[in-house]
Amino acid sequence: MSHGDTIPLHPSSQSDIDEIENLINAGPATVLPAHPPSPQRASIPVSSSPFIPSNLPPPPPSAPAAAFQKAPTSTPPSVPAAESSRRGIAADGFGSPPNTLTEPVWDTVRRDLSRIVSNLKLVVFPNPFREDPGKALRDWDLWGPFFFIVFLGLTLSWSASVKKSEVFAVAFAVLAAGAIILTLNVLLLGGHIIFFQSLSLLGYCLFPLDLGALICMLKDNVIIKIIVVSITLAWSSWAAYPFMSAAVNPKRKALALYPVFLMYISVGFLIIAID
Amino acid sequence: MEEGYTSLPTSHLLGSVPAAVAEEKAKGAASESSSANLQIFPPANGGYQAPGSPYGGDDQATSSWKGVCSISSYTPYFNVDTDIVVGRLISSVYPMNDFTGKIDGNPDLYGPIWISTTLVFMLAALGNCATYLMHKRNEPDIAWAFDVTYVNWAACIIYGYALAVPVAFYFLLRYFGCNASLIRLWCMWGYSLFIFVPSSLLLIAPVEIFRWIIIILAGAASSWFVALNLKSYTEGSDLMVLIVSALLLQIVLALFIKIFFFA
């Protein structure tokens, strides 16, 4: 179908078109997952396509009231069956998606928490994946960074004696806007980085500073604060260094890393100075 | 398809476009081969471009504009390496070097953005340090609290100055017939703020005379830098009024920094 065009295609477009044609012709059973299947994200079952034979019994037009009452009870058992019939064209294509909408809340929370813990272990603690930044944070999420930023803002706000809400606002704004600006900085310098993966990474690297802020809140001595903040600052910078430096050209490494250090140093200073 | 445009038999018509199209096509081809081509991902050469390649003047930069929200339309302004930035920083401290010549081919926005951000952070942090030291010296009994509004003030003033003053001068220079480039003006004013970063470190010392000497020296060096570069920028026309006003504005900024943050 591409041969009938008069405009010659870009060489990479032809390979894309071939790939899509293979997908359509070969069927979804041969689709390989783009990356190792992670704990399934919550997915809303797609239920509106008219071409899929649905196992839901069509509501009889003569008794709409009865069907209306019957539908809520019959939907949960028939949804898994409908989903298994729609297996091939499910949105993520990794096999039948589990029923994440109807699972107990505790299961969802536990799954998200385990993801946060595993990401934390990959980013902040020494592990063999740090040399390959792309692989390390494959399964990024934004819950962890959100918790860490809010926790840091709350701790700083709690430690402050005056203008508590302004302290929280400044801390939250600096960290959130700072993560976005740092990612944009890497992209503008010509680096390769995935936007949300980088946001996630910078959020996870705040974990040591969270610990430092907690310790500083409990102990009020200036010398101890300086020591604790210096150690956690060095830890945070060490955690963020391989990911940021691998993303840009080596001649611009310092240009990409300096803003990261600036942001962490400014947060560290905020932790020391608030009393 | 594009080859067809140059062979259109309209060049004999007045005000016809083909010549510009052919020229643009040549420029477009040159920039396509080495720029971040959005059809090929990742971009060629790992996205790295030696500084000083096709993005030479203003007209080159505008031809790669892909819209306000596309990152690749801003990348020409960040096409600098570490050693280039360090060289520009050093030449901003000694006003005698020819800064305009350095940035002529490749004005960058990395310097202005991160110098102003560093200055905002330093003013907020060191301003609080300075009030703490003065407080401990003069009134050691009363509790000192970290004043977080310094961050807000510093951000408003420094970012506002670095953004608005070059824009104002851009319009004024255009009005007086000078051929001005907004990016170069932003670049120059941004680098002129660099000298306040080390001088704010020195301003912590709680001795009043010392602080005034430091800020007067820093303000003088910075405004001399601005005036010198503005003069070499507007070579032909005689716009002493503008140059003197730029110098005075920079001195006012220096005095404001001293009075507000390091009182």
Higher pLDDT, A169 or B13: A169
Mutate to test the interface with A, among B77, B151, B183 (most CBs of A within 10 A): B151
Assess whether the previous peptide bond of A58 is cis (omega < 30° from 0): no
Residue B19 φ then ψ, to 5°: -60, -45
Which residues lie below 8 Å from residue B53, measured CB to CB, with a gap of 6+? B34
182-211 in A: which are within 8 Å (CB) of B?
184-185, 187-192
Reported as a single tens digit per residue, the pLDDT across B143-179 is: 777 787 888 889 999 999 999 999 999 998 888 888 8
Secondary structure letter of residue A101 according to DSSP = T
Q: pLDDT confidence of B52, banded at 50, 70, 90?
A: very low
CA–CA gap between residue B97 and residue A32 (Å, rounded) = 60
pLDDT of A163: 83
- Residue of B110, B121, B148 with shortest CB distance to A266: B121
A222 Cα to chain B: minimum distance (Å) = 13
Query: Residue A84 above 60 pLDDT?
Result: no
pLDDT of A222: 85
B110 Cα to chain A: minimum distance (Å) = 8
Reported as a single tens digit per residue, the pLDDT across B224-233 is: 888 888 888 7
Task: Please give the ipTM for the structure prediction.
Answer: 0.70
Q: Quick one: A187 exposed, middle or buried, by C-beta within 10 A (0-12, 13-18, 19+)?
A: buried
**Predicted model pTM:** 0.67
B171 Cα to chain A: minimum distance (Å) = 27
Q: How far is CA A113 from its chain centroid?
A: 13
Cβ contact, residue pair B42, A170, below 8 Å: no
Q: Are B177 and B147 contacting, i.e. CB atoms less than 8 angstroms apart? A: no
B27 Cα to chain A: minimum distance (Å) = 19
Q: How far is CA A107 from its chain centroid?
A: 19
Which DSSP string corresponds to B60-92?
HHHHT---TT-GGGTGGGG---HHHHHHHHHHH
Q: pLDDT confidence of A150, banded at 50, 70, 90?
A: very high
- Residue of A13, A191, A262 with shortest CB distance to B121: A262
Q: pLDDT confidence of A221, banded at 50, 70, 90?
A: confident
Reported as a single tens digit per residue, the pLDDT across A167-177 is: 899 899 989 99
pLDDT of B240: 84
**Does B96 reach chain A within 8 Å, measured CB to CB?**
no
Query: Residue A229 above 80 pLDDT?
Result: yes
Higher pLDDT, A228 or A32: A228
Q: What three-state secondary structure class fits A3?
A: coil
Closest residue in chain A to residue B39, using alpha carbons only: A12
C-alpha distances in angstroms, A69 versus A61, A74, B222?
Answer: 14, 9, 78
**Does B38 reach chain A within 8 Å, measured CB to CB?**
no
Higher pLDDT, B232 or B200: B200
**Does B133 reach chain A within 8 Å, measured CB to CB?**
no
Query: Residue A29 above 70 pLDDT?
Result: no
Cβ contact, residue pair A188, B75, below 8 Å: yes
